[in-house]
Amino acid sequence: MNLTGEFVAFFILSVMAIGGAVFMINFTRVIHMALALAFTFFSIAGIYLLLNAEFVAVIQVLIYTGAVSILMLFGIMLTKHRDEEKGSIAPWHSVLSFIAAGAFFGIVMWIIYRTPIAGEQVDLKQFGVARLGEAVFKQYVIPFELASVLLLVALVGAVILAKKEER
């Protein structure tokens, strides 16, 4: 394996992403968890950038690292955040979940490595943001409009579930 800059960057970013995820599970304070999660999100944005998906990377930073993390921090600040997490209900429960998740991971990895998807080199300029916008507003305009109804529903739902009762 030749050591290119890309490989080094990928290595660092994935260690950061996995590390953030592991810390997020192991921390006991909620605020630390939220920060660890933000760290993971940010590293994943870096991986997208390595894959030449600039748009997705920017969106990842904006939505996940920015909006979602801030929202979580707000949520934590506005609620009781001093509670330390209690241990899980039964010890065998976490063991079982670990085995199930591990087995699933193993199977997916095995399938991916057994038949690597062969792809030819393509001109990356074809896949710019302009093409993406064109696809969204031409071919996929119906789901795009539906997504706006979806956002409306989410907004209305959030308001009626969170609104304080007057009177």
Partner 1 sequence: MEQYLLDFDLKVMAPELVIVSAAALLSVMDLFLKETASRKVIAVLSLAAVLAAGVFAVMGFGHPPYQILGDTYRIDSFSLTFKVIILAGTALVLLLSLHLNKEEIETREGEYYYLLLTAVLGGMVMVSSADLITLFVGLELLSLSSYVLVGIRRKDLKSNEAAWKYVVLGGVSSAFILYGMSFVYGLTGSTNLFVIRDRLMQALYSGYDLFVYLALFLMVVGFGFKIATAPFQMWTPDVYQGAMTPVTAFLAVVSKTAAFALVMRIMLIAFLPVFSPQISVGVEKLLMILAALSMIAGNAVALKQTNAKRLMAYSSIAQAGYILVPLSTLGFVLFPSLAYYLLAYLFMTLGAFAVLDVVTREGKNEELHVFAGLHQRSPWLAFAMSVFLISLAGLPVTAGFFGKFYLIINAIGREQHWLAGVMILTTVVSYYYYFGIIRQMYFRSPASLRPIPVPWTAGLVIVVGVIGTIGLGLLPDTVLQSLGKIDWGSGFDLAKNAVRQ
Note the residues at the interface with partner 1 (CB under 8 A).
Answer: 107-108, 111, 114-115, 117, 138-143, 146-147, 149-150, 152-154, 156-157, 160-161, 165
- Angle (nearest 5°) at CA 84 between 80 and 89: 115
For residue 8, the minimal CB distance to partner 1 (Å) is: 26
Of 1 and 162, which CB lies nearer to partner 1 in the complex structure? 162
CB of 52 to partner 1, least distance (A): 16
Nearer to partner 1, 107 or 129 (CB): 107
Residue 149, class by beta-carbon neighbours within 10 Å (0-12 exposed, 13-18 middle, 19+ buried)? exposed
Distance in Å, CB of 139 to partner 1, minimum: 6
Of 89 and 149, CB closest to partner 1: 149
CA contacts within 13 A on the Cβ side of 87? 4
Contact 81, 30 (CB under 8 A): yes
